[in-house]
Amino acid sequence: MTTPLPVVRTVANLRAQVRTWRQAGLRVGFVPTMGALHEGHLSLVRLARTKADRVVASIFVNPTQFAPHEDFEAYPRDEAGDMTQLASAGCDLLFSPTVDEMYPAGAATTVTVEGVTASMDGIARPTHFAGVATVVTKLLNQCAPDVAVFGQKDFQQLQVIRRLVKDLDIPVEVVGAPTARAEDGLALSSRNAYLSVDERKVAVRLNEILRDAVDRVRRGEPVEATEAHAVADLQAAGFAKVDYVETRTPDDLSRLGPGPTAGPFRILAAAHIGRTRLIDNMGD
């Protein structure tokens, strides 16, 4: 029988537990989440477990990364179920703070990352990355882990976090974990719960179309033609809106020049079906 997962809800209690582990010479891993956990999240916990003696996960649906028209209130929440899954994956402690604990009255500081936020989701969701950067900076300072694990499905977000950790001299190793996928290739996401049966059949086409786009670039097709072809394929598949399909360098997400590319690349996409916005990426 799995032992119930200990939970702390204040920064003071989180720091006290981490301090106890450090005094014992233990290495600490951290996996931040917004809850509604699935196998993708659990794979991050298991990866963190291979790199640390103790693993902390957080659950916090961060209001500052949602625009007013987005799904903050509707975002799926199931703390009890999440705790059971975390315990089975090898997590040692859950940090589950309130909004007031994370953003006390009078809080007036926002972390802004330039460069890697200037395109793609930085355009489609203009306030998103300031919210992400701020909450991740706070969580890393609160937990002070040796290693923090993030999924590569949110590839632009991962690069934003790597940038802020480097620029702000936060002493943590950031590890990007491979995207976890369903058997049909759809990237796992808490928001997949919004998909109807018919929408789910369309959603899987995002994975297939991105794979085709990667093959085209590797065969030497110009990136602009590849991107245009992918957008048309997504629209034909039934996606109501395509925010972007863009081919970028993996490290700083700079735009690749016109024509064929010989260096490493990653194709990132975001598209809507019904009430669900899906993101995915593939490449080197």
Which is catalytic among the residues 38, 41, 69, 128? 41
| 268 dihedral zone (left: phi>0; alpha: psi -120 to 50; beta) | beta
Q: Can 41 be counted among the known catalytic residues? A: yes
Q: For the chain, give the number of residues.
A: 284
Residue 171 makes CB contacts below 8 A (sequence gap 6+) with 144
**CA 43, CA 149: separation in Å to the nearest integer?**
10
Rg (CA), the chain: 19
Cβ partners under 8 Å of residue 230, min gap 6: 209, 210, 212, 213, 245, 267, 269
- C-alpha distances in angstroms, 69 versus 32, 72, 123, 279? 24, 9, 15, 18
Point out the residues that are catalytic.
Answer: 41
